[in-house]
């Protein structure tokens, strides 16, 4: 069962060729930014509030006149085709279905017109 990020990393390491996993799992330069991000996330504590009425809660946000279902989107990541054939198209479709923006990387494996 995949429960957390480490579970997904373990399965990805098994399923992907090593150079693909290393590319996805790696960080730029000496990895300083990745370490700072990890430290910042580790400092957060998420405390669930149970037995609360959530029927009227929304995570949507309006940006430049467009309403997104969540306050984030899919950022440009290069070489998604290494992980899955037509990976950029799959991400674009998923973003559209989820109601969030998708940004195509200049390092895409697909042509913009095909995405």
Name the residue ranges covered by the structural domains of the chain: 1-47, 52-115
Q: What is the pLDDT of residue 78?
A: 87
pLDDT at 49: 87
What is the per-residue pLDDT for 17? Answer: 93
- The pLDDT value recorded for residue 29 is 87
3-state secondary structure of 10: helix
Question: Nearest CA to 25 among 11, 36, 39?
Answer: 11
Stretches in the chain below the pLDDT threshold 70: none
Burial class (CB in 10 A: 0-12, 13-18, 19+), 88: buried
Residue 15, pLDDT score: 94
Identify whether the C-beta of residue 54 lies closer than 8 Å to the C-beta of residue 82.
no
What pLDDT does residue 20 have?
A: 92
Residue 71 is predicted with a pLDDT of 95
Q: Which residues lie closer than 8 Å to 7 by C-beta, 6 or more apart? A: 1
Closest CA to 75 of 91, 98, 99: 91
For the whole model, what pTM was predicted?
Answer: 0.75
Q: Residues of 34-60 as b/e, b for ≥16 C-beta within 10 angstroms?
A: eeeeeeeeeeeeeeeeeeeeeeeeeee
- The pLDDT score that the predictor gives to residue 81 is 92
* pLDDT value at residue 64: 92
**Residue-level pLDDT at 33:** 93
Task: Give the H or E element holding residue 61.
Answer: strand 61-63
DSSP structural state of residue 43: T
At 67 the pLDDT is 95
């Amino acid at each position: 069962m995949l429960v957390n990020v480490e579970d997904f990393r373990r399965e990805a390491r098994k399923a992907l060729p090593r150079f693909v996993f290393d590319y996805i799992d790696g960080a730029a330069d000496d990895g300083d930014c990745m370490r700072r991000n990890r430290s910042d996330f580790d400092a957060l504590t998420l405390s669930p509030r149970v037995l609360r009425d959530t029927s009227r809660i929304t995570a949507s946000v309006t940006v430049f006149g467009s309403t997104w279902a969540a306050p984030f989107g899919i950022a440009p990541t290069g070489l998604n085709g290494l992980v899955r054939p037509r990976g950029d198209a799959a991400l674009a479709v998923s973003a559209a279905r989820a109601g969030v923006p998708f940004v195509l990387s200049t390092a895409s494996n697909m042509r913009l017109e095909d995405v």
